[in-house]
Chains A and B, each alone.
Chain A
Amino acid sequence: MHPTLAGLLFWRRKADRLREFAETEAFGARDLARAAERVEDPWLRRQLIRHAQDEVRHASLLGENAAPASERALGGAVVGDTGGGEAGIDIDKMGEVAFIAFVHEAEKRATAEFAMHRDALGAEGELFNSILADEKRHVAWTGHQLQRWREAGRGAEVDAAVGRMRRQRWMNAWLWFARRVSLFMSILVLTVVFYAVLAPFALLAGRRPRGWQLAPPNDLSREF
């Protein structure tokens, strides 16, 4: 088959992409396992655990083909906050219906993406064949679970969750845009404030004294 443009682009960063996939799969496994601990329904629990086991297998298959993970770049921000690791998806926050709806939509997307990679990678894409078979099963079981809830009279809840997931893709794009705009505006305003308004106070701020200081009183009822 002819290489597609997307294929060529992905090809360039094959190792990176594979590692990214591997990490996503591994993270997914952790979230799914934890979700299995939270749900009451035995069938659902069984699927979640099996699903987690699949994702671990995928992670190791992909990981073997990827470059070793390197440490996150961080040259500064010593005084600021640490981002910590990546947050996964979280059944405690989402609730079980939204969680499964999310997994369902995500698996659908993953299936499509894996298929594209398999085609783009040509012979090396063989790797994705066994993974793809699993992914299709993941789409199927999550779809089946959503159906079970529908039959149990939770159709409205399911539809709402699925709709939310689909809208969220557009929503995320919009939010990203809105955030950029508001970030830009706040940078603008704050920069003006910093240079124009606060400049005279800078002289007052001066230097803090060095050496040993007396501690201010620690009155617990006060925020200062």
Chain B
Amino acid sequence: MRILGLSGHFHDAAAALVIDGKLVAAAQEERFSRVKHDAATPFRAAAFCLRQAGLAPADLDAVTWHEKPLLKFERILFTSLGSFPRGAGAFRRAMVSMVGDKLWVRNQLVKGLGVDPGKVLFSAHHASHAAAAFGCSPWDDVAVLCVDGVGEWATTSMWTAAPGKLTPIHELHFPHSLGLLYSVFTAFLGFTVNEGEYKVMGLAAFGQPRYREQMERVFRRQADGSFELAMEHFCFHYDPDRSWTGAFEALFGAPRLPGGPLEERHKDIAASVQALTEELLLDLARELHRRTGKSKLCLAGGVALNAVSVGRILREGPFDDVFVMPAAGDAGSAVGAALLAHGTCRDTLCHPAWGEDIDVAAARRFFDDGGVSYRDCGEDGIASEVAERLARGQVVGWMQGRFELGPRALGQRSILCDPRQPEAKDRLNARIKFRESFRPFAPSVLAEAAAEFFEVPAAGSWSRRFMTSTVPARDDRVPAALHVDRSARVQEVHAAEQPLYAELLRRFGERSGVACVVNTSFNLAGEPIVSTPADGYATFLRSGMDALAVGPLLVARETPP
């Protein structure tokens, strides 16, 4: 069976190919179109998946879309009517976007891919999330919790899963959504929705949750883990240009303008919404555990990318272990849609590298023709060359193998530096990535050395392959990789899965005494992570990196900045 799973039309469109129950390729559309969070129907990502497997569209047994377009349409229609007479704006926008385009997914796929209409399938959005969460996990009998902005109607859902069997328990419906609440605060704090959520999470560590009482007013928690938004504070359901009302501002004050100064109040609001999110996810986990009695939990949906919350569920929650796959957001629902159509099969995700490979010959040709001087360090030499440079304090762009699935760089398309120098963080933020100073960086550490630096329990080791949870640091040996609260979003690197990256860490450890590097995604603020050598080179040129490693090739900046 050859099944292509696709997601899109909201944010982070992606394609994934599953052949006979095994994931073969998966990638986000943005890596090909270079439009960050590209939500367009992912034809390029689909073409890549087919290319990777040497298949033509006609060879596919099914193409599964990650949601039910008609149900989504129903939700949008009902919501704008439900707030009559205020919903006219939302209604117009929805009609233009849905009826003009997004409602006709089957047609688009038939035309764009050239597949038979009968082969196009549709999986409910949260079922797609759940199938991905379970299907990528290492366990056969799990409870699944999905929490995101919204799919069709569901915003939160509980499941149990086993091979061949995905069973829904209960779900909460729009507009009562934790993901949307987080997004409202993201916009309120002056960040871009669907992009700035990480910034809110980063900012939260600088504040105190002093807005608890106000939070309780806009968000009501119930004893059974469910919750509702007090809708008089929100207008995202009927106003296409605003998401909060005057009542909301009466509680939290004026919104922060994009790019404006960050006051203590903003940090406290971020801390408050983060604290609420953590507690709510813990409530949900407890409720799910009570209902299912399972010992393992898989989390999915955009909210599952909140690594701090996942860390707390691991430490304080009722489950023995928790797994979050690297593309827990909507990109991952493409993987889930494919696995689900394959009878809810499971294929443990051991590594993140499911995208397009680097063509070293093409890279060499590119550098030759561009008059770019480079050195071929060979497969064996590149790790020690880069380790040496990192130990000397250089910042190096590192492009190896197939690019990562999901929003994080995990050693395939990363910018690396020495974690021992505290000032490395500011240098990366200001001169390399051009982003806000309060945002933390994360460490990649050799799996066997992780416990030297971080308090890593045995539980959560699968999630730590993908940087999807945070842990406390033991000491200050790697200050540049820690957040202000001395936590870190650790990636544990296994030599069996990522041999070259592990080799780099080992070599760096020999020189520096720490088998750990600062790893941040290889992109500039506002752009998608690089995919091809040309992307990497253009980004390298535009930033203050000292060197660029593309496969075995090393390009050094001629005049050090």
Q: Measured between C-beta atoms, what is the minimum distance from A183 to chain B in Å?
A: 8
Contacts of A92 in B (CB 8 A): 32, 44
Closest to A44 in B: B369
Tell whether A220 pairs with B64 under 8 Å between CB atoms, given A53-B370, A206-B82, A208-B174.
yes
What mask results when residues 80 to 115 of chain A are scored 1 for a CB within 8 Å of chain B, else 0?
Answer: 111011111010100000000000000000000000
Complex Cα distance, B154 from A209, in Å, reads: 12
A222 CA to B106 CA, complexed, in Å: 11
Kindly list chain A residues whose C-beta atoms are within 8 Å of the C-beta of B278. Answer: none
Q: What 0/1 pattern do residues 183 to 206 of A give for CB contact below 8 A with B?
A: 000110011001100110110011
Q: A36-B369, A220-B340 are in contact. Are A82 and B240 (CB under 8 A)?
A: no
Check if B39 is an interface residue, CB within 8 A of chain A.
Answer: yes
Query: Which chain B residues border A213 with CB–CB below 8 Å?
Result: 170-173
Select A194's contact among B92, B171, B434, B542, beta carbons within 8 Å: B92
Chain A CB within 8 A of B532 CB? yes
Q: For window 50-83 of chain B, which residues contact chain A by CB distance below 8 Å?
A: 64, 68-71, 74, 78-82
Q: Is the Cβ of A186 less than 8 Å from the Cβ of B35? A: no
Q: Are B11 and A81 in contact (CB under 8 A)?
A: yes
Q: Which of B153-188 contact A (CB under 8 A)?
A: 153-154, 157, 168, 170-176, 180, 183-184, 187
Is B82 a contact of A84 with CB atoms below 8 Å?
no
Residues of B close to A50: CB separation below 8 A: 370-371
The answer, yes or no, to whether A6 is at the interface (CB within 8 Å) is no
Q: Which of A25-33, A130-138, A141-149 contacts B (4 or more CB under 8 A)?
A: A25-33
Query: Taking the nearest CB of chain B, how far is it from the CB of A198, in angstroms?
Result: 6
Name the B residues within 8 Å of A222 (CB-CB).
Answer: 68, 122
Chain A: interface residue count, which band?
Answer: 35 or more
- The listed residue (B236, B528, B535) touching A85 by CB distance below 8 A is B528
Q: What is the CA–CA distance of A138 and B183 in the complex, to the nearest angstrom?
A: 44
B365: which A residues are within 8 A, CB to CB?
Answer: 45
B171–A212 CB distance below 8 A: yes
Closest to B74 in A: A224
Total residue contacts A-B, CB cutoff 8 A: 239
Please tell me if the beta carbons of B534 and A34 are within 8 angstroms of each other in the complex: yes
A157 within 8 A of partner (CB):
no
- With A78-B184, A82-B194, A212-B171 known as contacts, the answer to whether A73 contacts B258 (CB < 8 A) is yes
| Known contacts A29-B541, A29-B542, A34-B535, A76 near B71 by CB under 8 Å | no
Q: Tell me if A71 is interfacial: C-beta within 8 Å of chain B.
A: yes
B372 at the interface (CB under 8 A from A): yes
Q: Does B42 contact A (CB under 8 A)?
A: no
| Beta-carbon contact of A218 and B127 below 8 Å | yes
A residues less than 8 Å from B366 (CB atoms): 36-37, 45, 49
- A51-87 contacts to B (CB < 8 Å): 52-53, 56, 59-60, 69-82, 84-87
A191 touches B88 (CB 8 A): yes
- Of all A-B residue pairs in the complex, the 7 with the closest CB atoms, nearest first, are A49-B370, A70-B259, A202-B84, A215-B168, A212-B170, A33-B538, A224-B70
| Subset of 15 A-B contacts with CB under 8 Å | A36-B369, A60-B542, A70-B258, A71-B191, A79-B237, A81-B11, A85-B526, A187-B92, A190-B96, A194-B92, A199-B85, A211-B222, A212-B170, A220-B122, A223-B122
